[in-house]
Structure 1
Amino acid sequence: MKNITVIGAGNGGMTAAYHFSKEGHSVCIYDHADFATQIDAINANGGITALAEHHGESMMFSGTEKITKATTNIKEALEFSTILVMICPSFAQEILFKDMLPYLTSEHKLIIMPGNYGGMVLQKMVSDSDKPNLNMVFIDAISIPWACRIVSPGVISIMGIKTFLPMSIFPQELSTPDLQADIQNVFPIPVEFLDDPIHAGLENINFGGHPLLTTLNMGILENFDGKFNYYRDCCSTATANAAAKMDKERLAVGASWGYDLRTELEAMNALYDSNYDTVYEFNRASTTHVKIDSAPASSKNRYITEDVPYLLVPCYELAKAKGIKVPIVESCIHIASAYNDENYFETGRTLEKMGLISQKSNM
């Protein structure tokens, strides 16, 4: 069993800390003092509780687990373990990493869930810092293993779990059988190792299902305050058809960079051990996703503010670098930018921010 530090106490971070502890690991969970609600609840209660039932649906892995340390002190958190699991919105990765950097050593291994090309971005931050010789490992997971929600302070519900989790190790030369075994020992499900962070970013199954369906359904999402099942009610035959066309754009971009990507349907069936014939059927009937009784209520939801700038923009940039047209991806970025009065083409995760091109060559 290992010591593990979880960075971030949102839905995924709380669930990770709970499940790692349930698996017998000793866990520290950290969040910034400005977001200390869950940290305070853990310290008050001595741990995290997972419900057996929520809204009339059966939940998974119920119980109460002790958390060894819950802290708002980043130095304490990084001293607790060399295995770090960062689970936060992509926009917060660089913010948190800046606070972490003074206390990081070459022994630390940072698992980022979801990665969304974060390993390359954070490695560039290291190269540009006053610690350029810091030789740490970045592991980009395509997502988090769980479908989960925080119900109240210190209390979570786990609707489902993936059957395996694809991720990449960066820099690639640091990927060894021993390191892969160490990473596997952290997770309660099998790990699949991909080529690199670009491969992992393009395999994120949130790519089409979140930003496109949210963009296409924004009127009903806002007008009904997200009070329905997102996956079942926002996926129609027409929106699923549009998502399929967008998925072909992603596959073409992957092929141009040398990756043999799973289709969205293949990925969802594999990750959730199902056998649906279409994405429409999956969204309507998945035993995990039908338990999620909520939907985004505005264009400020992470399905737009995270998935557009950190999934669609990199795909658009990777396509542009290879001379490939991705009109649906590009249109979705334009519409989301209009929704939120923000130019995601500029503020999103560009090749320059990933360290793939220099500022000089981009001029």
Structure 2
Amino acid sequence: MALKVAVLGGGNGGHAAAADLTNRGFCVHMYEDARFAGNLQKVFETHEITMAGAAGNAVVKIDMVTSDLKEAVEDVEFIFVAVPAFAHDVYADKLSDIVKPGQTVVVLPGTFDSLIFWKKFREKGVKDVVVAETNTLPYATRLQGPGSTLIMSLFNPLKLGVMPACKTQETLEKLRPFYPALEAVESVIACGLSSLNPIIHVPGCILNAGRIEYAKGEFFFYTEGFTPCVARTTEAIDKERIALLDSFGYESDIVAHGVGGSVVTDDIGEAIASDPNFAKIKGPADTGNRYYAEDIPYGLAPWAKLAHAMGVGVPVIDSMITIGSALLGYDCWEKGHSLQDLGIEGMTKERLKEYLETGC
């Protein structure tokens, strides 16, 4: 009998994960909130997703497509959460009432938000449930239309943080059948600080804001927008991220080594230019896009808040968040998740590392 998994979310990541895992022989329960189910009407009616690209070309039949969350996660061991960061607290709250001992919740990606799930589960008295997060979606992917997903590439390596970290090795072994490229890092904080999107999206979005608004989507973000000055700003942000990782004693690597194609280089501009998949990506079309609305308040801002609490200076990251707030017309410092939301406010570095290791 095929192993059952739940994929929560009907966007780019949810479609890709549901299609890929089904195509590889897993029994998938795909969930989308009833408020957004209309966007998946074709998938609800047919249970079919057409997939193309790096994970294969096929029309797959999803075993279950539902707007009943309890039904979706019933009798599954692994729950993959592929929804925007602003919805993580909502899903954490909903799942806290229905998860069962022995289940593993994986946030794709997390950017620290596995801590929100862990905090909520503890508050509700949930026991024997592991929460993990990846540093990015497993796929570079875009929806091509209703029930149609293009998977341009698969991220390798795909980093994994586990809460509590003492469960890392056993969780990694359980999840490897789904994503063989998984590599464990020291904690969910280490994983969140390895997230690619805030680094490679935000500088280009802020420094190209006028062009993005004018082009309304007819703009190749990486080929037109990733100029030398954008690359230098990206690398400056990356240095601050690495300084924060270093302050915890965690391993780190520069962002140029985590992206790109056939060229191995320390230059992020060269790494981006070497991957033909980046050349295909258009947009964003406006400042409402997730490159702005998610990656600034829910990506960079939590990094900065943690850095401030740990006494690590991140002036370039700070400037991106402040300018981003002016561009978006709301305070990105306030909109994103706080250290209190994550359950780690007021912790010293030593106490935080203990909490990450033991979960308590």
Matched, 1:29 2:30: yes
Aligned to 2:323: 335
Match of 1:63 in 2: 58
Aligned match of 1:165: 158
TM-align CA RMSD: 1.8
Identity between Structure 1 and Structure 2 (%): 27
**Secondary structure in 1 aligned to 2:177?**
helix
Please report how far the alpha carbon of residue 108 of structure 1 lies from its aligned counterpart in structure 2 after TM superposition: 1.6
Cα offset, 1:100, TM superposition: 2.2
Contact 1:159 1:291 in 2 (8 A): no
- Indicate the larger mover: 323-332 or 11-20: 323-332
Q: Where do residues 276-355 of structure 1 align in structure 2 (5 Å cutoff)? A: 276-292=265-281, 294-355=282-343
| Aligned counterparts of 2:135 and 2:120: Cα–Cα separation in 1 | 21
Paired with 2:3 and 2:263, the residues of 1 have a C-alpha distance of 32
Q: CA deviation at 1:40?
A: 2.6
Aligned-pair CA distance for 1:87: 0.3
Q: TM-score under structure 1 normalisation?
A: 0.90
Could you say if the C-alpha distance between residues 41 and 278 of structure 1 is closer, same or farther in structure 2, counting changes exceeding 3 Å? same
1:104 maps to amino acid = V
TM-score by length of 2: 0.91
Q: CA deviation at 1:91?
A: 0.6
What are the equivalent positions in structure 2 for 1:99-110 lying under 5 Å apart?
A: 99-110=94-105
- Alpha-carbon spacing, 1:350–1:69, altered in 2? closer, same or farther (3 Å): same
Residue among 230, 243, 248 paired with 1:257: 248
Shift of 1:315: 1.5
Equivalent of 1:186 in 178, 189, 195: 178
The corresponding residue for 1:208 is: 199
C-alpha deviation, 1:134, in angstroms: 2.9
User: Between Structure 1 and Structure 2, how many residues are aligned?
Assistant: 346
Q: Offset of 1:60 from its aligned partner?
A: 5.0
Gaps spanning 5+ residues in structure 2: where?
348-360
Query: Which residue number corresponds to residue 357 of structure 1?
Result: 345
- Give 3-state SS (helix, strand or coil) of 1:64's partner: strand
How far 1:199 moved relative to its partner? 0.2
1-side partners of 2:283 and 2:278: how far apart? 11
| Mean CA deviation greater in 315-324 or 13-22 | 315-324
SS of 1:28's equivalent in the other structure is strand
Gaps of 5+ in 1: 53-58
Question: Who is 1:85 aligned against?
Answer: 80
After the TM superposition, which segments of 4 or more aligned residues of structure 1 sit over 4 Å from their partners? none
Q: Does 1:223 align with 2:223?
A: no
Report deviation, 1:43: 3.2
